[in-house]
Structures are given as C-alpha cells and as structure tokens.
C-alpha cells in the first residue's frame, strides 16, 4: 500500500470492507493504532516492508552491496 501516513485509518477501513486478509504497508509506514485495529479485525499486518526487497532478502538475492544482483530487476529483460 503506497499512501501517506494520515491515510492509513481510511485504508484500513477500505481493506476491511473489501475482505482483505492482510494489510501491507510500505517502507517508512508504521502506525501502532492501525495495527491494533487491523489485528482486532482479524487482518495480518506487515509494516515498513517492501514487496520487492523482502523476497530477495529471504531467497538470498539481497547483497550488502545493494540491489544490482540480477535477481530482482525493475527493468525489462531482453532476449
């Protein structure tokens, strides 16, 4: 979810209304009150995490030198 911090309560309301199972907040977003409300509603909560970084971290593609590993790329591939 890519929104400003002040939008989080509304995003949670929309996620609940849509029947979401998880509320995933982007890097830099953390809100304890939203977490409590989301978990009380039965949602799993992931905060301050990136959908691009986490798979690389768990599968060995995130190196201390950075993201230029060839494992994950935002560029299209040729060939």
Nearest to 21 by CA among 2, 4, 3, 46: 46
Give alpha helix (H) positions in 19-79.
32-40, 53-58
- CATH number for the domain that contains residue 41: 3.40.50.720
pLDDT of residue 63: 57
- The answer as to whether 27 is a domain residue is yes
Task: Give the span between the Cα atoms of 64 and 79, in whole angstroms.
Answer: 29
Report pLDDT for 2.
73
Residues forming beta bridges with residue 24, ordered by sequence position: 46
pLDDT at 45: 95
The answer to whether residue 17 sits within a structural domain is yes
**Enclosing domain of residue 21:** 5-58
Structural domain includes residue 74 = no
Residue 14 confidence (pLDDT): 95
Q: How far is CA 9 from the centre of its chain?
A: 16
Burial state string for 1-10 with b = 16 or more CB within 10 A and e = fewer than 16: beeeeeebee
If one counts the domains in the chain, the total is 1
- Is 67 domain-assigned? no
pTM score, whole prediction: 0.66
What pLDDT is stored for residue 69 in this prediction?
54
* 39 within some domain: yes
pLDDT at position 36: 97
What is the pLDDT at residue 52?
73
Low-confidence ranges of the chain (pLDDT < 70): 1, 57-79
């Amino acid at each position: 979810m890519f929104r400003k911090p002040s939008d989080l309560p509304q995003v949670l309301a929309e996620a609940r209304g849509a029947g979401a199972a998880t509320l995933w907040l982007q890097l830099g977003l953390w809100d304890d009150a939203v977490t409590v409300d989301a978990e009380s509603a039965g949602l799993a909560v992931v905060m301050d995490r990136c959908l691009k970084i986490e798979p690389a971290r768990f599968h060995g593609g995130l190196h201390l030198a950075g993201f230029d590993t060839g494992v994950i790329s935002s560029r299209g591939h040729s060939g």
